[in-house]
Structure 1
Amino acid sequence: MDFLVTMTTQVPAGTSEAAVQDIRTQEAARARELAAQRHLLRLWRPPLQPGEWRTLGLFAATDADQLEQILASMPLRVWRTDEVTPLSPHPNDPAGRTEPAPGTGDREFLITFTVAVPADTRGQDAGDAEAREARRARELAEQGHLLRLWKLPGDGRALGLWQAPDTGAMEAILASLPLTPWMSTQATPLTPHPSDPGAGHERSTGDSTSS
């Protein structure tokens, strides 16, 4: 099972820089171990305000209890709070079915989708739109734009990992989805984390001012 974890770190006042660096070094080593064990799949930095220390992580575990054991084993947990979102399989997830086209996009985005079908929509019309959405998802996966897709808790909610050259291109891709008239979206642009297990993919990051 996959989990998205928002990890927020607050270093206690008066902590020496040497102590901070020591914990960060231990954290990086533990991240490599968890990646080798296939528990840590990805790490990103979301947009940050000055002084913020926050990371998004994609983890795999058998259940919430095992995930908690994994998170508790990470050295930064002494200063960190974790917000966990369970992710369920989505029928349009391209993982394992499509090899993304190389070099299609150079920036990653997490997109939250909420679909609300109008109450007066005929069942056949809704079904046709969902079928077109599935076909379009396959096309975008083949083009290297859609990397992963999961269901989120709650009706009609999903989370997608996408890549595109820039925000404008990402918006155009989302506008091409057949369910767009019934859908609201929230986009989080991502920048690479130095301990990201997926950092081997060549990707231009643009400006990065996160710490």
Structure 2
Amino acid sequence: MEYLVTMTTRVPEGTSEAEVDEIRARESAHTRELAAQGRVLRLWRPPLGPGEWRTIGLFAADGPDDLERTLASMPLRVWRTDEPTALGTHANDPGKGTVPLAADDGEYLVIFNVAIPEDAGPPAVAEMEAGEARRAQELAAAGRLVRLWTSPVSGRNPSLWQAPTADVLQKDLASLPMTAAEWLTIETVPLTRHPSDPATIKQD
């Protein structure tokens, strides 16, 4: 099972730079071990404000307890709070490892909030879902849509995208039938790769 985890670190006042550097070094080394075990799949940094220290991670675990054991084993956990979201399988997900990582493209976490109109009958819904599936397949084949999941919140679907620019991403998202029909709203978070991101390490 996969989980999206937002990790927020707050270093206590008075902590020396040497102590911070030592824990960060242990965190990096342990993260490599977890990546080798298939537990840490990806790591990114969202946009950060002054003094913020936050990471978004994609983890694999057998369940909530197994995920907690992984998170608790990470050295930075002494200063960190973790917010996990369990990810379910979406019918339009290209699948893990299906879409190659584009080295020069930016990555984006995109959250779809689907709201089907009350007056939409079953045939209209089926037609819309079929069109959405076809377009998702096209965007995955083009290397844009990397992953798509469901979440515990009904109608809220996290996804991972890559594109050369934010404008290109917005055009891709606008091409989805549900976007054009205003059946969904979209939240977009630009991501930068974390120094300990397993994908980045593999390319080094």
Structures share fold, TM-score greater than 0.5 = yes
Q: Deviations over 1:169-190 (max 9, x none)?
A: 1111100001112010100000
Q: Per-residue deviation at 1:200?
A: 5.1
Bigger helix share: 2
Contact kept in structure 2, 1:3 and 1:85, CA below 8 Å: yes
Aligned identity (percent) is: 57
**Are residues 1:123 and 2:122 paired?**
yes
Contact kept in structure 2, 1:6 and 1:57, CA below 8 Å: yes
Q: Per-residue deviation at 1:99?
A: 3.9
Contact kept in structure 2, 1:42 and 1:198, CA below 8 Å: yes
CA gap 1:128/1:171 in 2 versus in 1, 3 angstroms: same
The CA distance in 2 between the partners of 1:200 and 1:109, in whole Å, is 19
CA gap 1:182/1:66 in 2 versus in 1, 3 angstroms: same
Contact kept in structure 1, 2:96 and 2:147, CA below 8 Å: no
- Give the structure 1 partner of residue 65 of structure 2: 65
The CA distance in 2 between the partners of 1:110 and 1:123, in whole Å, is 30
Structure 1: runs of 5+ lacking an equivalent? 203-211
Contact kept in structure 2, 1:104 and 1:144, CA below 8 Å: no
Structure 2: runs of 5+ lacking an equivalent? none
Q: Once superposed, which parts of structure 1, at least 4 consecutive aligned residues long, lie more than 4 Å away? A: 102-105
Contact kept in structure 2, 1:104 and 1:145, CA below 8 Å: no
- Give the structure 1 partner of residue 30 of structure 2: 30
Q: Per-residue deviation at 1:168?
A: 1.0
- Name the SS for the 1:48 alignment partner: coil
The CA distance in 2 between the partners of 1:92 and 1:35, in whole Å, is 26
- Name the SS for the 1:198 alignment partner: helix
- Give the structure 2 partner of residue 207 of structure 1: none
Alignment-mate amino acid for residue 32 of structure 1: R
The CA distance in 1 between the partners of 2:171 and 2:194, in whole Å, is 26
Q: Deviations over 1:88-131 (max 9, x none)?
A: 0111110158444x749610000000111100012101100100
- The two structures have a TM-score, normalised by structure 1, of 0.91
- Give the structure 2 partner of residue 192 of structure 1: 193
Alignment-mate amino acid for residue 187 of structure 1: T
The CA distance in 2 between the partners of 1:103 and 1:43, in whole Å, is 16
Contact kept in structure 1, 2:27 and 2:75, CA below 8 Å: yes
- Name the SS for the 1:7 alignment partner: strand
- Name the SS for the 1:159 alignment partner: strand
Contact kept in structure 2, 1:104 and 1:164, CA below 8 Å: no
The CA distance in 2 between the partners of 1:104 and 1:17, in whole Å, is 33
CA gap 1:37/1:103 in 2 versus in 1, 3 angstroms: closer
CA gap 1:11/1:98 in 2 versus in 1, 3 angstroms: closer
The CA distance in 1 between the partners of 2:184 and 2:164, in whole Å, is 23
Alignment-mate amino acid for residue 29 of structure 1: A
- Name the SS for the 1:160 alignment partner: strand
